């Protein structure tokens, strides 16, 4: 296999059958589309190259910087493509939560700009989100940026409608699978593949997978973030189902330990979601069917993520005090106060106010006198036991009040008698016109 450019090696990834003894489906052949075998390491190589290809020469002439709103695989692919063409690359993002990817981007020469935002994924309908404002600024004429615009660029979807989808059909001897299962980030890959498969066979059933509410699976949206924005169109999916971070890791471990696939968490989520969706259908089948799920990227960048959530998988003692160990029922036991009650409580009893958002969001606007402990760090702190005395009342705040409620429930379980969560978070506080200060 000889190529003039590494970008020629993008695509044509293998479709590999999963051993039925592992997944247990009797009438369905389940295949993994191994997108992690693209040259820059993920499914996003296709979208990045398709979005950048035509504009690179003009960007070189005008001395522009390639820029994208991404904290993961798209940024990685674009950093490599930009470098290959002698262009700088800048990644703009809310918060880089996977340190290995951040370090890799820096090693690739990327500039990283982290902005205070409310969610991991861009929400272009939220006009107050600093990331949205930045997105609008980038698209103004005269900006010295070549913005590939993955959340809106039809070339993202098209990369999969013309590449990934037709490859699946060709590898299934000219037939579309009966089910296609994929995780949803920008929605480019699931939308593009679904379009190609349905053009071939309108009866293909498409399952979109997202992370569970308030849960974090790197690279994809959670149930709160799925909305009609950018490339996402609910009509693409026959059903949208949630996978928890724990289930994604369980699926990933099966792919790693039983299937010889070095899959990352979203590959695990796709496998887990596929088997869970197909199992009850399989039992009723009398003829053979097929299903395909996508393995987006590889596991190595996520060892820290696994260490934090499931240390026992790496031979370390299991975590007792972590929000990941809360049941849904426990999570609902938190004491929640609205903005007016919180203001009164702060004035009368001076609770310790802990703001769990990222440092950029905190610096931009916060409750006067609050301390900033970003939620991952707070999680680490709690592993060692209560980090403050039981007589110290505590008010927890996060962007919209969901994470803080989980932490409040956890602290209660750990024996803290007076911890409360700010309902609606800093967004509700701001919307109520309560005072906020900036650094």
| Nearest partner of 269 among 290, 283, 255, 289, judged by Cα | 255
Map tokens 């479709």 to a residue: 15
Q: Which is nearer to ligand PLP, 244 or 404 (CB)?
A: 244
* Cβ–Cβ under 8 Å, residues 168 and 176: yes
* Cβ–Cβ under 8 Å, residues 233 and 184: no
Q: Which is nearer to ligand PLP, 44 or 310 (CB)?
A: 44
Q: Which is nearer to ligand PLP, 254 or 266 (CB)?
A: 266
* Cβ–Cβ under 8 Å, residues 19 and 254: no
Query: 3-state SS of 31-91?
Result: EEEEHHHCCCCECHHHHHHHHHHHHHHHHHHHCCEEEEECCCHHHHHHHHHHHHCCCCEEE
Binding characters for ligand PLP, 234-273, by CB under 6 A (x = yes)? ------------------------------x-x-------
Q: Which is nearer to ligand PLP, 50 or 190 (CB)?
A: 190
Q: What is the DSSP letter of 388?
A: S
Binding characters for ligand PLP, 140-179, by CB under 6 A (x = yes)? ----------------------------------------
Query: What stretches of 127-246 adopt beta strand conformation (E)?
Result: 145-147, 179-183, 205-211, 239-243
Considering only residues 220, 249, 252, 339, which one is a binding residue for ligand PLP as defined by CB under 6 A? 220
Instruction: Show Cβ contacts of residue 199 under 8 Å, excluding neighbours closer than 6 positions.
Output: none
Kindly indicate which of the ranges 13-21, 184-192, 239-247, 427-435 contains the residues binding ligand PLP, using the contact rule CB under 6 A: 184-192
Residues 285-344 touching ligand PLP, rule: CB under 6 A, are 296-297
**Whole-number Cα distances in Å, 376 to 96, 304, 359, 379, 382:** 12, 12, 12, 5, 10
Considering only residues 11, 41, 72, 273, which one is a binding residue for ligand PLP as defined by CB under 6 A? 72
Binding characters for ligand PLP, 26-55, by CB under 6 A (x = yes)? -----------------xx-----------
The CB-of-99 to ligand PLP minimum distance in angstroms stands at 15
Considering only residues 50, 153, 189, 421, which one is a binding residue for ligand PLP as defined by CB under 6 A? 189
Residues near ligand PLP (CB under 6 A): 43-44, 72-74, 183-190, 219-220, 264, 266, 296-297
């Amino acid at each position: 296999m000889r190529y003039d450019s590494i970008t020629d090696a993008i695509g044509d990834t293998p479709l590999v059958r999963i051993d039925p003894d592992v997944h247990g489906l009797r009438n369905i052949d389940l295949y993994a589309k191994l997108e992690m075998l693209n040259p820059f390491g993920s499914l996003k190589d296709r979208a990045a190259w398709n979005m950048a290809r035509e504009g690179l020469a003009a960007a070189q002439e005008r001395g522009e910087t390639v820029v994208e709103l991404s904290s993961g695989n798209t940024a990685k692919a674009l950093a490599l493509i930009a470098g290959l063409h002698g262009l700088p690359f800048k990644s703009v993002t809310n918060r880089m939560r996977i340190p290995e990817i951040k370090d890799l981007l820096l090693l690739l020469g990327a500039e990283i700009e982290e902005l205070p935002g409310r969610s991991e994924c861009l929400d272009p309908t939220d006009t107050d989100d600093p990331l949205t404002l930045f997105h609008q600024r980038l698209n103004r004429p005269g900006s010295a940026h070549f913005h590939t615009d993955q959340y809106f660029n039809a070339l993202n979807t098209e990369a999969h409608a013309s590449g990934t989808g037709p490859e699946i059909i060709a590898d299934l001897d000219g037939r579309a699978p009966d089910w296609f299962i994929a995780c949803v980030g920008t929605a480019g890959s699931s939308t593009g593949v679904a379009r190609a498969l349905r053009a071939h066979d309108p009866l293909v059933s498409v399952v979109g997978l997202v992370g569970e509410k308030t849960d974090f699976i790197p690279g994809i949206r959670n149930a709160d973030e799925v909305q009609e924005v950018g490339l996402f169109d609910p009509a693409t999916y026959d059903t949208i189902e949630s996978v928890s971070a724990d289930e994604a890791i369980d699926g990933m471990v099966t792919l790693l330990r039983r299937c010889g696939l070095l899959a990352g968490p979203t590959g695990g989520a796709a496998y887990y979601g596929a088997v869970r969706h197909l199992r009850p259908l399989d039992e009723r089948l009398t003829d053979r069917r097929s299903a395909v799920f996508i393995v987006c990227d590889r596991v190595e960048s996520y060892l820290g993520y696994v260490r934090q959530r499931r240390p026992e998988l790496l031979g370390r003692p299991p975590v007792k005090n972590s929000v990941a160990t809360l049941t849904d029922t426990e999570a609902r036991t938190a004491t929640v106060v609205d903005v007016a009650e919180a203001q009164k409580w702060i004035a009368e009893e001076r609770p310790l106010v802990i703001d769990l958002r990222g440092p950029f969001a905190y610096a931009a606007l916060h409750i006067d006198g609050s301390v900033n402990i970003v939620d991952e760090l707070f999680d680490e702190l709690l592993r060692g036991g209560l980090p403050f005395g039981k007589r110290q009342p505590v008010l927890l705040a996060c962007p919209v009040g969901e994470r803080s409620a989980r932490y409040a429930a956890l602290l209660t379980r750990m024996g803290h008698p007076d911890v409360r969560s700010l309902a609606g978070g800093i967004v509700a506080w701001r919307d109520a016109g309560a005072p906020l200060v900036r650094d």
